[in-house]
Structure 1
Amino acid sequence: MNILILGGTQFVGRHIVEAFLDSGHKVTVLTRGKSKDELPEAVKHLHGDRNEGAAGLSALEDREWDACVDVSGYTPQQVRASASALQGRVGRYVFVSTVSVYAEPERHPVREDDPLSAPAAEDVTEVSGKTYGPLKVTCENIVHEVYGEHCTVLRPQIVAGPFDHTARYPYWVDRAARGGQVLAPGDGQDSLQIIDARDLARFTVKVVEDGTDGTFNMSGPRISWADFMGVLGVSGPVWVNSKTLETNGLGSRELPVYLSAHGEQGGMMDVDNARAMAAGLTLTDPATTARDTREWSKDADLQYTLTPEREAEILASLGG
Structure 2
Amino acid sequence: MKVLFIGGTGLISEASSKLVVEQGHELYLFNRGKRSEWVPDGAHLIQGDIRDLAASAETLMGYAFDVVVDWIAFTPEHARTDIELFRDNTKQYIYISSASAYQKPLQHYIVTEETPLSNPYWQYSRDKIASEELLMEAYRNSGFPVTIVRPSFTYGDTMIPASLNSWNHPWSLIDRIRRGQKIIVHGDGTSLWTMTHNTDFAKGFVGLLGNTAAIGEAFHITSDEVLSWNQIYAAIGAAAGVEPILVPISSDFLISFSTDYKGGLLGDKAVSAVFDNSKIKRFVPEYRATLPFAEGIKRTVASFEKRPEICTVDPEWNDHIDQILAAYESAKPKHIPIKFGSL
Q: Shared fold by TM > 0.5?
A: yes
Give how far 1:6 is off. Answer: 0.8
Structure 2 partner of 1:307: 318
Instruction: Return the alpha-carbon distance in structure 2 between the equivalents of residues 215 and 309 of structure 1.
Output: 38
Structure 1 partner of 2:132: 140
> Does the aligned pair in 2 maintain the 1:5–1:69 contact within 8 Å?
yes
Structure 1 range deviating more: 179-188 or 224-233: 179-188
Give how far 1:111 is off. Answer: 2.6
Structure 1 partner of 2:51: 51
Instruction: Return the alpha-carbon distance in structure 2 between the equivalents of residues 224 and 47 of structure 1.
Output: 42
Instruction: Return the alpha-carbon distance in structure 2 between the equivalents of residues 241 and 201 of structure 1.
Output: 34
Counterpart amino acid of residue 115 in structure 1: P
Show CA shifts across 1:78-100 (max 9, x none). 22222222223211111110123
Corresponding position: 1:153 with 2:180: no
SS in 2 for 1:104: coil
Show CA shifts across 1:123-178 (max 9, x none). xxxxxx84322221222233334444833211111221112398459568625761
Give how far 1:215 is off. Answer: 0.8
Give how far 1:101 is off. Answer: 2.1
Task: Report the CA distance shift for 1:242/1:56 in structure 2 as closer, same or farther (over 3 A).
Answer: same
> Does the aligned pair in 2 maintain the 1:32–1:49 contact within 8 Å?
yes
Task: Report the CA distance shift for 1:309/1:23 in structure 2 as closer, same or farther (over 3 A).
Answer: same
Structure 1 partner of 2:222: 219
Task: Report the CA distance shift for 1:309/1:44 in structure 2 as closer, same or farther (over 3 A).
Answer: closer
> Does the aligned pair in 2 maintain the 1:106–1:265 contact within 8 Å?
no
> Does the aligned pair in 2 maintain the 1:248–1:314 contact within 8 Å?
no
Give how far 1:282 is off. Answer: 2.1
Show CA shifts across 1:219-263 (max 9, x none). 33221233224423254643424289649948876xx97x58xx9
Counterpart amino acid of residue 96 in structure 1: I
Structure 2 partner of 1:4: 4
Structure 2 partner of 1:282: 288
Task: Report the CA distance shift for 1:52/1:246 in structure 2 as closer, same or farther (over 3 A).
Answer: closer
Structure 1 range deviating more: 79-88 or 302-311: 302-311
| Unmatched tracts of structure 2, length 5 or more | 331-343
Counterpart amino acid of residue 219 in structure 1: T
> Does the aligned pair in 2 maintain the 1:189–1:226 contact within 8 Å?
yes
Structure 1 range deviating more: 182-191 or 152-161: 182-191
SS in 1 for 2:8: coil
Kindly tell me the number of residue pairs found equivalent between the two proteins: 304
Instruction: Return the alpha-carbon distance in structure 2 between the equivalents of residues 156 and 243 of structure 1.
Output: 23
Instruction: Return the alpha-carbon distance in structure 2 between the equivalents of residues 176 and 313 of structure 1.
Output: 15
Corresponding position: 1:61 with 2:22: no
Give how far 1:3 is off. Answer: 0.7
Alignment of 1:117-266 (within 5 A): 117=118, 130-147=122-139, 148=143, 150-164=145-159, 167=166, 170=170, 174-175=174-175, 178=178, 180=180, 182-185=182-185, 186-213=187-214, 214-220=217-223, 221-232=225-236, 233=238, 234-235=242-243, 237-242=245-250, 246=254, 249=257, 259=265, 266=270
Task: Report the CA distance shift for 1:118/1:53 in structure 2 as closer, same or farther (over 3 A).
Answer: farther
With structure 1 as the length reference, what TM-score do the two structures score? 0.78
SS in 1 for 2:52: helix
Give how far 1:291 is off. Answer: 1.2
> Does the aligned pair in 2 maintain the 1:105–1:265 contact within 8 Å?
no
> Does the aligned pair in 1 maintain the 2:254–2:324 contact within 8 Å?
no
Task: Report the CA distance shift for 1:312/1:297 in structure 2 as closer, same or farther (over 3 A).
Answer: farther
Structure 1 range deviating more: 36-45 or 46-55: 46-55
Task: Report the CA distance shift for 1:54/1:312 in structure 2 as closer, same or farther (over 3 A).
Answer: closer
| Unmatched tracts of structure 1, length 5 or more | 120-128
SS in 1 for 2:51: helix
Structure 1 partner of 2:111: 110
For the aligned residue pairs, the C-alpha RMSD in angstroms reads 3.8
Structure 2 partner of 1:86: 86
Give how far 1:64 is off. Answer: 1.2
Instruction: Return the alpha-carbon distance in structure 2 between the equivalents of residues 193 and 268 of structure 1.
Output: 9
Structure 1 range deviating more: 11-20 or 174-183: 174-183
Instruction: Return the alpha-carbon distance in structure 1 between the equivalents of residues 189 and 132 of structure 2.
Output: 36
With structure 2 as the length reference, what TM-score do the two structures score? 0.73
Structure 2 partner of 1:13: 13
Task: Report the CA distance shift for 1:112/1:3 in structure 2 as closer, same or farther (over 3 A).
Answer: same
SS in 2 for 1:11: coil
Show CA shifts across 1:16-57 (max 9, x none). 211211212111011134x33211342212133332224432
